[in-house]
Amino acid sequence: MPHPPIAALRSAFTASAKPGSQDWPTLADFTVFAAAGRTCGRAPLIGLPGWTCDDAARVLALAELATRTPEGDLSAHLRTLYWRGDAHERRAVLRALPYLSVARRDPALATALVEDALRTGDPHLIAAARFADLTSATATTDPD
């Protein structure tokens, strides 16, 4: 469940998502985060074991939204998406952390989310939290 470069994640998502939903991550906003599974599908990503279309759609959407959202607002949105989200949405927020500079700029938020996930007992959240390497940001340095 490691974090692939964002270009590889985008490519695998495009190849695996429901027809017509490949652009969803670039068009999405915070209000449609929950709809990723219904819109893009939940199929496994081709070539990226452990990743599903809805995970990738949400992570790609957060990476896109991070480029046009002020850092403080992004932290607030992540907090809301995590605490109000279901297990799939929470997992996507955790999986997005290494791709977002907020993990470095707001380490208290990132740490709180990871600690909560580790306490849940949900094996998918625990795995996402374990792989949320908050010291690196694979996607922020990966050119498109």
18-34 confidence digits (pLDDT tens): 999 999 999 989 999 99
Q: Is the pLDDT of residue 138 over 60?
A: no
40, part of any domain: yes
In a domain, 67, yes or no: yes
Q: What is the pLDDT of residue 134?
A: 59
Tell me, yes or no, whether 73 lies in a domain. Answer: yes
Q: Is residue 142's pLDDT more than 80?
A: no
What's the structural domain count of the chain?
1
For the chain, give the number of residues. Answer: 144
pLDDT digits (tens, 9 = 90+) for 102-128: 878 888 898 999 999 989 888 888 988
Query: What is the torsional sign of CA 44, 50, 55, 57?
Result: negative
- Report if residue 108 sits inside a domain: yes
Task: Read off the pLDDT of residues 57-95 as tens digits, 9 standing for 90 and up.
Answer: 999 999 999 999 988 899 999 999 999 999 999 999 999
Query: Is residue 27 a part of any domain in this protein?
Result: yes
Per-residue pLDDT, 104: 81
Is 41 a residue whose pLDDT tops 90? yes
Residue 141 lies in a domain: no
- Picking from 36, 110, 102, 95, the residue whose alpha carbon sits closest to that of residue 67 is 102
CA distances from 49 to 31, 33, 55, 111 (A): 28, 22, 12, 26
**Domain span holding position 109:** 6-134
Residue in the block written with tokens 């590889």: 8
Residues 6+ apart with CB under 8 A from 30: 65, 77, 80, 81
Q: Is residue 143 assigned to a domain?
A: no
Q: Comparing 7-16, 58-67, 113-122, 130-139, which segment has the lowest mean pLDDT?
A: 130-139
- Residue 21's nearest CA partner among 42, 2, 3, 6 is 42
Q: pTM of the full predicted structure?
A: 0.86
The pLDDT score that the predictor gives to residue 127 is: 86
Residue 1, in any domain of the structure? no
